[in-house]
């Protein structure tokens, strides 16, 4: 059984703490045949089975204490046959745009060759990471759309409750890109500008001040909890994104938080979604990350255990 990780170009990755590279290097440490596949080399041919694929060899190592990546080097390009039973890891970052959708269509076709894909492209197609979180019972009040009249009603309801600030964000971006905190007095005008700029729906929610104390990232694989960290925004900020300067520390889930994540994990596992990274704010699930779940290095560092190894062990069961 071979593992192939379909990833963004090396130039786009934060190599030292990249989840995909951590998984790839850990697979190699287990003497498992592992390769990297880039966007320009993904294809499908219905007359070929098994399918020869142009992939890259690589070398590198993990720090044995922190699990950050010490060194990484991309090596030669080779042609490897993709066969029934092999595993392809979908590790392309959002945005979930037309290019991303094309990748999912091709990966779906690859399943015809008996290739297992983590996470399954059909599962990714069915679930928006943000909207699926808001569908849960444990979710804050949320408006998603671009209709000013409907937004007006939603804001009116919030104002009756004393809400004076809202969060506005796009439906299909990542790492806090496009997320804004807006005073209620400027919300209508900002909403119109944002829908025009994004050419699509905008998410509007009451600003939850709990976020300054941190948002939890919880990682599940095959329905099993791997670990959690609390992401704390830098002073004066409200975005709990490590890529934007947030700090992190080890944390445990409450019984209610864990129960909610386990229920969602079980539902998504039936759709071929193995790897999930939940973002949790209080008792609310704020995001169900399934496109390219990250922060495995950071959670491993906090727990002082290689969680990529735990993933591999769970795959082997």
Check which CATH number belongs to the domain holding 152 and give it. Answer: 3.30.1490.20
pLDDT level of residue 174 (50, 70, 90 thresholds): confident
233 and 305, same structural domain?
A: yes
Query: What pLDDT score does 114 carry?
Result: 96
234 and 175, same structural domain?
A: no
Q: Is residue 183 part of a domain?
A: yes
What b/e readout covers 208-247, taking b as 16+ CB neighbours within 10 angstroms? beebeebbbbbbbbbbeebbbbbbbbeeebbbbbbeeebe
| pLDDT tens profile 233-287 | 998 888 888 888 899 999 999 999 999 999 999 999 999 999 999 999 988 999 9
pLDDT of 311 over the 90 cut: yes
Query: What pLDDT score does 239 carry?
Result: 85
Q: Considering the chain, what percentage of its residues have pLDDT values greater than 90?
A: 88
Going by their DSSP bridges, the two strands 116-118 and 87-91 should be labelled as parallel
193 and 223, same structural domain?
A: no
Q: Of the candidates 51, 19, 40, which has an alpha carbon nearest to the alpha carbon of residue 115? A: 51
Q: Six-digit token pair at 258?
A: 């864990």
Q: Is residue 70 part of a domain?
A: yes
Q: Is residue 81 part of a domain?
A: yes
Q: Is residue 124 part of a domain?
A: no
54 and 8, same structural domain?
A: yes
* CATH code of the domain covering residue 288: 3.30.470.20
pLDDT of 293 over the 90 cut: yes
Per the structure, the count of domains in the chain is 3
215 and 203, same structural domain?
A: no
Q: Is residue 52 part of a domain?
A: yes
pLDDT of 22 over the 80 cut: yes
102 and 34, same structural domain?
A: yes
Q: Is residue 242 part of a domain?
A: yes
Which residues does 110 contact at the CB level (< 8 Å), separation at least 6?
44, 51, 82, 88, 117
| pLDDT tens profile 124-134 | 999 999 999 99
Higher pLDDT: 271 or 137? It is 271
What b/e readout covers 50-61, taking b as 16+ CB neighbours within 10 angstroms? ebebebbebebe
8 and 28, same structural domain?
A: yes
150 and 109, same structural domain?
A: no
Q: Is residue 32 part of a domain?
A: yes
pLDDT level of residue 173 (50, 70, 90 thresholds): confident
User: What is the span of the domain harbouring residue 199?
Assistant: 141-207
End-to-end CA distance of the chain: 14
| Distance (Å, whole) CA 127 – CA 172 | 11
CA atoms within 13 A on the CB side of 249: 5
| Distance (Å, whole) CA 165 – CA 311 | 40
| Distance (Å, whole) CA 7 – CA 28 | 16
276 and 214, same structural domain?
A: yes
222 and 202, same structural domain?
A: no
Q: Is residue 214 part of a domain?
A: yes
254 and 194, same structural domain?
A: no
| Distance (Å, whole) CA 229 – CA 193 | 35
* CATH code of the domain covering residue 89: 3.40.50.20
| Distance (Å, whole) CA 55 – CA 47 | 20
Last residue of a domain, one of 86, 119, 152: 119
- What would the mean pLDDT of 69-87 be, rounded to a whole number? 96
Last residue of a domain, one of 56, 89, 119: 119
Partners of 229 in beta bridges: 217, 250
Q: Six-digit token pair at 228?
A: 């959690």
Query: What pLDDT score does 177 carry?
Result: 81
7 and 114, same structural domain?
A: yes
| pLDDT tens profile 202-235 | 999 999 988 889 999 999 999 999 999 999 999 8
């Amino acid at each position: 059984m071979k593992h192939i990780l379909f990833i963004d170009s090396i130039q786009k990755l934060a190599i030292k703490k990249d989840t995909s590279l951590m998984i790839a290097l850990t697979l190699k440490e287990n003497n498992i045949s592992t390769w990297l596949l880039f966007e320009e080399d993904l294809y499908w041919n219905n007359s070929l089975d098994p399918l020869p694929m142009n992939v890259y060899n690589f070398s590198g190592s993990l720090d044995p204490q922190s699990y950050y990546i010490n060194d990484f080097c991309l090596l030669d390009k080779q042609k490897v046959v993709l066969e029934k039973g092999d595993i392809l890891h979908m590790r392309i970052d959002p945005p979930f745009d037309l290019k991303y959708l094309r990748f999912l269509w091709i990966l779906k076709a690859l399943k015809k060759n008996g290739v297992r894909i983590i996470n399954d492209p059909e599962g990714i197609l069915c679930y928006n990471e943000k909207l699926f979180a808001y569908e849960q019972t444990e979710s804050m009040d949320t408006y998603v759309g671009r209709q000013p009249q409907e937004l007006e009603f939603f804001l009116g309801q919030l104002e009756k409750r004393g809400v004076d600030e809202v969060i506005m964000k796009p439906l299909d971006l990542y790492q806090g890109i496009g997320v804004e905190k807006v005073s209620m007095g400027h919300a209508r005008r900002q909403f119109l500008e944002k829908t025009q700029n994004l050419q699509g729906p905008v998410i509007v929610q009451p600003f939850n001040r709990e976020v300054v104390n941190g948002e939890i990232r919880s990682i599940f694989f095959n329905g099993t909890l791997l670990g959690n960290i609390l992401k704390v925004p830098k002073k004066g900020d409200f975005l709990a994104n490590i890529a934007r300067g947030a700090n992190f520390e080890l944390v445990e889930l409450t019984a209610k938080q864990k129960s909610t994540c386990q229920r969602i994990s079980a539902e998504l596992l039936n759709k071929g979604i193995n790897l999930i990274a939940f973002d949790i704010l209080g008792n609310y699930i704020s995001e169900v990350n399934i496109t390219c779940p990250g922060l495995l290095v950071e959670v491993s560092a906090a727990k002082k255990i290689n969680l990529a190894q735990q993933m591999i062990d769970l795959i082997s069961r």
